[in-house]
Amino acid sequence: MSNHPSRTAFWAGVVFLLVVLTALVMGGIKVQAWLQDEQRAPVQVVDFSGEFEHVNVVQLERLIRKSQPGSFFALDVNEVFQLVESQPWIYRASVRKQWPNTLKIYLVEQTPVAQWNEDMLLNPYGETFSASAEGLALPRLFGPSGSEKTALEGYNAMQSLLATTAMPIVELSLSERFAWQIQLGNGIDLNLGRTEFIDRLQRFIDVYPLLAQQPKPVKYVDLRYDTGLAVGWETSTDEQS
């Protein structure tokens, strides 16, 4: 008889514990459902900051809301970050939640400095990104895959040399054998070869004032010589006929 009260108390404790555990589980399910309910805790504000010109933030917000239709609590910041950085004109981004209903996104936009092989753009680091060049006055760079940084570094070096001549580079080609050719804003084509292309370009700059005095305009200059150069002249319509 003496064990009966203790046995009753034990089972009463077990039942109480089961009731508590059941209540906790049910409460957790209800809390989870509440947190997932977009109407109870919606993301009301998507706040974009940073300096950008080409990013369409209205369209970007629409993409974010479509990919993350749940509540503020259910929203996955990492997924939003990956979605934002996958957009063509976005170079870097940071994403964070701000209680109680705001998603804050800071954007760093790509800076295009050149077209690459007609279907890509280059940023100042020689990295390609896929975006439209429409309306952008950019030099056209061509070269084999993997030569983006080399081509851009060569362009920058040559453009610096030409800065005072009013003859900007409008097109640059780097061949499979890494020979350089450029076209200037005045239409002159320069063949600079594979080596010493900066010295050869300087040779052209030095001699150009004499070439410009000639009665015929210059069409191309071949500088692939240790000394001297070869000049091709524009042919008039009368001479062609």
- In angstroms, what CA-CA distances link 6 with 10, 18, 20, 125, 193? 6, 18, 21, 78, 99
Whether residue 76 is found in the same domain as residue 135 = no
Listed in sequence order, the residues at least 6 apart from 136 whose beta carbon sits closer than 8 Å to its beta carbon are 112
Which residues have a Cβ under 8 Å from the Cβ of 54 and sit 6 or more positions away?
89, 109, 110, 131
State the Cα angle at 153 between 147 and 158, rounded to 5°: 125
pLDDT of residue 37: 52
Tell me the whole-structure pTM to 2 decimals. 0.79
Do 125 and 229 belong together in one domain?
yes
Report pLDDT for 187: 96
- Contact between 120 and 133 under an 8 Å Cβ cutoff? The reply is no
- pLDDT tens sequence for the chain (241 residues): 455 667 777 777 777 777 777 777 776 666 565 555 545 678 889 999 999 999 999 999 999 999 998 888 889 999 999 999 999 999 999 999 999 899 999 999 999 999 999 899 999 999 999 999 999 999 999 999 999 999 999 999 999 999 989 999 999 999 999 999 999 999 999 999 999 999 999 999 999 999 999 999 999 999 999 888 999 999 865 554 4
Total domains in the fold of the chain: 2
**Does any domain span residue 224?**
yes
Please give the span between the terminal C-alpha atoms of the chain, in angstroms, as a whole number: 130
Note whether 63 and 144 are same-domain residues: no
**Whole domain around residue 80: which residue ranges?**
45-109
Specify the pLDDT at position 193: 96
Task: Map 89-119 to HEC letters.
Answer: CEEEEEEEEECCCEEEEEEEECCCCEEECCC
User: Residues 86, 119: one domain?
Assistant: no
Residue 86, judged by CB atoms within 10 A of its CB (0-12, 13-18, 19+), counts as exposed
Residue 23 lies in a domain: no
Q: What is the pLDDT at residue 241?
A: 41
Q: Is 214 domain-assigned?
A: yes
